[in-house]
A and B are shown apart, each in its own frame.
Chain A
């Protein structure tokens, strides 16, 4: 029916596409000029000795050699690795466990969900400042526990360079796990009730059903979540600025902060470009294999 009408009244192919093309101009500009062009520009200028202003005088890999010799950069990379690793693991595990608990047909589900998700509405600046206050050794959690009589209790992550990154991790998890829980819960709700019935009939214990049946079925949700968390990790900047300003000393520096400081404060653009290019490489190492699997190896949609 539709085919016949379409055949006779089909608008001009080129004109039809024109509107869509006009609508896509902002996207095309953003994709090509900013994302591709901007990235290429930064990579190109990372091989120059630009200081206050970008200049095209190439110095080869000088900036990179200086970068990888800088203790501050090495600390930043180490921090990002620790932070990234733990925040991925903990977000996924905590998020999934909470979602599974919420999926037990409980009462007050909405209340619990509202409570767990509200930190996600807050900015990293607010999150960082609250946790700076909670972890304040003089007034915060440490002093409370000490006042209970446990006078040797030590919990001052923000003032101890060995564990400062974990102090930031606590704040980040408080802010972000609610979102992961919601994504996982949506995934769980999308699973056919019959699967559960079948598993119950077969006498498979609940945890086994989750691990062996439900989680593999939620592959898509896990990938989405993983990608969301991972892209958040690399961008981590505000949280550190608010919570510790990179301190004590340089103990909680992260790459994003290194870039900002060199570009806009130390007026050493070349270093900033080189550092940001390294961030790009880090992301590429994570994203390219994933993108290849998802989009490259033939479209296999479940």
Chain B
């Protein structure tokens, strides 16, 4: 096996070497792109990429067709006649229960849930992670361990006690209640993210600031914060997509008039009444996915870099 591989490589080298010598250093670069290995690599990746793109393509195509065309055609065919009516209907007229004002209501609810939740959860978790990384106190590791282990407790176990707590506070069913819940459940992953990031910063920096007499908040605001903008962006991306995409908490902790977009979407598409309008459903689905997708495509590289940074150090 070993010999075989070695032989193969020498053979191919022998074949290419004379060509290279003849053409000389001024000739075109030797083309290596068509080696068998590259065909396999690129071929596989292209097939995989097509598989990943397929659902998005089908969603877009379906949402631009009229119902008659959907009934006779196949889902992969591009629309013969492009219509934006399903989009308009999904946004402004689709029905959930008695309300027929479309997904727009859910959209604005989601905005009102996501923005404060993201800001509050990140503010709390970053200070917390900083305290854990640089200002360890007795028992801090214990609480942190409980927090991280707690991240594995299924939400279902804690939902009802939280309902009771929120009810006692008088915010059960409101947006405030839901924001608190998002802050609580975002805490483990965010704290971990920030703690790891801050712990990875050069310690000399922190020590130097201490020597210069800076305190807890000064170091956080003047040194840690400016140095860690990437991780804040990462945390923001994580939270915006996470909270926007949440379904369970929305269903449990809010009243129907405050339902976030995902819940409303599910109610529209999976409603048993009426004729199924697949084009409207797909338009509504796309609309709901649009916010996280936009964030993802804009921040693509940071998204990836963040995931990598957060994960490998952990």
Q: Which residues of A contact B (CB under 8 A)?
A: 2, 5-6, 9, 11, 16-17, 19-21, 23-24, 26-28, 30-39, 41-43, 45, 54, 98, 101-102, 104, 106, 110-119, 121-126, 129-134, 136, 139-140, 143-144, 147, 174, 178-179, 182-183, 185-187, 189-190, 203-205, 220-221, 224-225, 227-228, 231, 234-235, 237-238, 241-242, 245, 255-256, 259-260, 263-264, 269, 272-273, 275-277, 279-280, 283, 287, 291, 295
Contact = CB atoms under 8 A, between A and B. Distances in A.
B interface: dominant SS = helix
Interface string B269-300: 11000000010011001001100110111001
Interface in B150-176: 150-162, 164-165
A256 B154 contact: yes
B34 interface: no
Contacts of B239: none
A225 to B, nearest CB: 7
A139 B45 contact: no
B100 interface: no
B157 A276 contact: yes
Contacts of A203: 2, 5-6
Contact of A225 (B2, B48, B265, B311): B311
A117 to B, nearest CB: 7
Contacts of A134: 54-55, 58, 75
B236 interface: no
Nearest to B130: A23
Contacts of B146: 31-32, 35-36
B143 A238 contact: no
Given A123-B288, A283-B154, A19 B187 contact: no
Interface in B169-208: 183-184, 187, 191, 207
Interface string B29-44: 0000000010001101
Given A20-B131, A119-B52, A220 B288 contact: no
B122 interface: no
Name, among B54, B304, B309, the residue most crowded by chain A CB atoms within 10 Å (CB to CB).
Answer: B304
B84 interface: no
Contacts, number: 292
Given A118-B296, A139-B75, A238-B248, 7 more contacts: A19-B135, A30-B184, A39-B157, A106-B42, A123-B245, A125-B266, A256-B248
Given A6-B210, A32-B146, A42-B161, A280 B52 contact: no
Contacts of B245: 122-126
B154 A131 contact: no
A111 B76 CA distance: 23
Given A42-B158, A123-B247, A260-B248, A30 B187 contact: yes
B211 interface: yes
Interface residues of B, number: 102
B158 A38 contact: yes
B162 to A, nearest CB: 6
B312 A221 contact: yes
Interface in B71-117: 71, 74-76
A133 B74 contact: no
Nearest to B140: A24
A124 B247 contact: yes
Contacts of B147: 27, 30-31, 35
A278 to B, nearest CB: 10
14 contacts: A20-B140, A23-B135, A24-B132, A32-B143, A36-B150, A39-B158, A98-B45, A101-B44, A117-B304, A125-B262, A133-B282, A204-B2, A205-B1, A263-B159
B156 A276 contact: yes
A113 B184 contact: no
B241 interface: yes
B19 to A, nearest CB: 22
B223 interface: no
Given A101-B41, A125-B288, A139-B278, A24 B128 contact: yes
B41 A283 contact: no
A98 to B, nearest CB: 7
A143 B74 contact: yes
Name, among B59, B71, B154, the residue most crowded by chain A CB atoms within 10 Å (CB to CB).
Answer: B154
B45 A126 contact: no
B87 to A, nearest CB: 15
Contacts of A37: 161
Contact of B304 (A98, A113, A136): A113
A111 B81 CA distance: 30
A34 B74 contact: no
Contact of B211 (A5, A121, A129, A259): A5
Name, among B145, B151, B152, B155, the residue most crowded by chain A CB atoms within 10 Å (CB to CB).
Answer: B152
Given A35-B153, A269-B160, A6 B41 contact: no
A288 B289 CA distance: 36
A299 to B, nearest CB: 11
